[in-house]
Amino acid sequence: MADILSKGSLFPEELIPEFIQKTRGASALAALCAATPIPFNGMKEFTFQLDKEVDVVAENGAKSKGGITISPVTIVPIKVEYGARISDEFMYAAEAAQLDYMSNFADGFAKKVAKGIDLMAFHGINPRTASASSVIGDNHFDSKVTQAVTIAAGDKPDANIESAIALVQGSECDVNGLILAPAFRSSLAEQVTTGGAKLYPELSWGNNPGLINGLRVESNNTLSANASKDRALVGDFQNCFRWGYAKEIPIEIIQYGNPDNDTTLGDLKGHNQIYLRGEMYIGWGILDAAAFAFVKASE
């Protein structure tokens, strides 16, 4: 194992499922929509829709036109990476110590990737710079989803959610998931009955219960990140959103050069350092924007 690590090759296959499991558990989108394997060169998903209802035809009667619409959505993986410098003592440590380093790095990288999936797919931003990414373009919910409910003074949060659900169902789409920003989750948790009992006790104290009124619910701070007005997103995550990753997950050990392009830190070998770098190829696509609706803050 030590020789394999020193050459910067891939994790063995048996470690990959555990790595991906950590990623899935920390992403709201990944929790609501199972990953689909994405080829390295991308894939094309087709949305298939019969445009009209069935037609009643009299005996010997003429049949009328129905119509069909097929719309392609291309999903191309984009590369994300994270790297860090550590002391080159790593190279001389016992195998158990090397595995500890790698395990901790892999765990941290998985959590960063999980958060990054949401930030990229919700807002189209580069997670590190928090600015719009030209690589992502308009392939994100903020750009594609136009159905929205704006929170007005005195509104009850659950009424806002009901209105957003009505928008999705009005587009003849299903609702099987809800994502909440923390502030909006807190507003729901504060709602009480006329007798003073909490309407949603399962949301109290920052809980993320996973299910409310039979609807799958996830909450984290990525939905409202970067000064976004997004407070909730409802829709058909199971059928109208796709995401996935290329199979291989390289964790590379770099011993020479300046791999992070930071001239102030200098050459690795000259400073008794090595560089750990993780890379992953992730792709996603919104197959039908009408299957989703936002609840947004007014200001």
Express each pLDDT in 100-130 by its tens digit: 778 778 888 888 999 999 999 999 999 999 9
- Containing domain of residue 163, as a range? 2-52+66-296
Whether residue 298 contacts residue 108, with contact meaning beta carbons closer than 8 Å, is answered with no
Give the model confidence (pLDDT) of 16-41 as tens digits: 555 555 554 479 999 999 888 787 77
Q: Are strands 230-235 and 177-180 parallel, antiparallel or unpaired?
A: antiparallel
pLDDT surpassing 50 at residue 280: yes
Question: Residues 166, 167, 170, CA angle at the centre, nearest 5°?
Answer: 80
Q: Mention every residue, 6+ apart, whose C-beta is less than 8 A from residue 130.
A: 225, 226
Q: With respect to residue 58, please indicate whether it lies within any of the assigned structural domains.
A: no
Torsion of CA 146, 148, 153, 154, to 10 degrees: 170
pLDDT surpassing 50 at residue 15: no
Please, which pLDDT band fits residue 271 given cuts at 50, 70 and 90? confident
Calculate the alpha carbon distances from 262 to 254, 259, 266, 292 in Å: 15, 8, 7, 42
Count of domains forming the chain? 1
Q: With respect to residue 120, please indicate whether it lies within any of the assigned structural domains.
A: yes
The one-letter amino acid code at 200 reads Y
Q: Which two structure tokens, joined as six digits, stand for 58? A: 């009299």
Q: The whole model's pTM is what?
A: 0.84
Q: How far apart are CA 94 and CA 90, in angstroms?
A: 8
H or E segment at 111?
Answer: helix 95-123
Share of the chain above pLDDT 90, in %: 53
Q: With respect to residue 59, please indicate whether it lies within any of the assigned structural domains.
A: no
Query: Among 3-7, 22-26, 52-56, 135-139, which stretch is predicted with the lowest mean pLDDT?
Result: 3-7
Q: Which long-range contacts (CB under 8 A, 24 or more apart) does 181-184 make?
A: 181/219, 181/221, 181/223, 181/224, 181/230, 181/231, 181/232, 182/206, 182/219, 182/220, 182/221, 182/224, 183/224, 183/231, 184/157, 184/224, 184/231, 184/232, 184/295
pLDDT surpassing 60 at residue 12: no
Q: With respect to residue 61, please indicate whether it lies within any of the assigned structural domains.
A: no
104: domain CATH number is 3.30.2320.10
Q: With respect to residue 239, please indicate whether it lies within any of the assigned structural domains.
A: yes
Q: With respect to residue 60, please indicate whether it lies within any of the assigned structural domains.
A: no
Q: Are strands 43-50 and 78-87 parallel, antiparallel or unpaired?
A: unpaired
pLDDT given for residue 93 in this prediction = 75
pLDDT surpassing 90 at residue 248: no
Give the model confidence (pLDDT) of 69-102 as tens digits: 666 778 889 999 999 888 888 787 777 777 777 8
Calculate the alpha carbon distances from 3 to 7, 137, 158, 262, 276 in Å: 7, 41, 57, 28, 16
